[in-house]
Amino acid sequence: MHIVMLLYPGLTQLDLTGPYEVFSRIPDTKISLAWKTAEPVADGGGLAILPTVTLDHCAPADILFVPGGPGQLTIMEDEAVLGFLRRQAERARYVTSVCTGSLILGAAGLLTGHRATCHWLSLDQLAAFGAEPVAERVVIDGNRITGAGVTSGIDFALTLVAELHGERMARMIQLSMEYDPAPPFDGGSPKSETPEIVAALRSRSEAFQAERLAAAKRIGAIVRAD
């Protein structure tokens, strides 16, 4: 099985590396980290990740995966990347994402008419691309599987493993990673966090979310017209 994971500048590394850790434990699986060049790609925090293949030389994917991150804003208008995703999606068994990676899939026209999820701050923006936003941690709609924000990437990947190889393998991988979350605080979701902290985070990200929403509406209009 060949899993193609898109790299791009400004991604959120945990969107990528959480699922990567799960995928790397699936037997007989090849993982390709694909970008335009073979040069290191810096995530939003400056961590450098090395691509293993360029977009032009990437073999067809069985699983196509797109992470999110602040760099998503630029990628939504990068026709070279969007064209790559469209071509890969034609033959992929599953087309997937975590966090705002679903907005990139939307910009490529790959979520039109599908139920999908995203980071809660950007969830409503999926509607601009003709997708149905769903406030769930992992959403499966046909061969589209999307995960919510950042840490949901591990849940997403384990869900995908269960779809591919059954619950037993997924549970074994979960155990091998000792994935037994016990967060120090009863938060991490707008449903469980205090209204004050939710409002504070919304305020802190307001300017960037406005920019992201404007881009989603502009690009989404083009996608829906096509």
**27-to-31, 89, 95 alpha-carbon distances in Å:** 11, 23, 20
118 among known catalytic residues? no
Residue of 33, 76, 99, 105 marked active site: 99
The residues assigned a catalytic role are 99
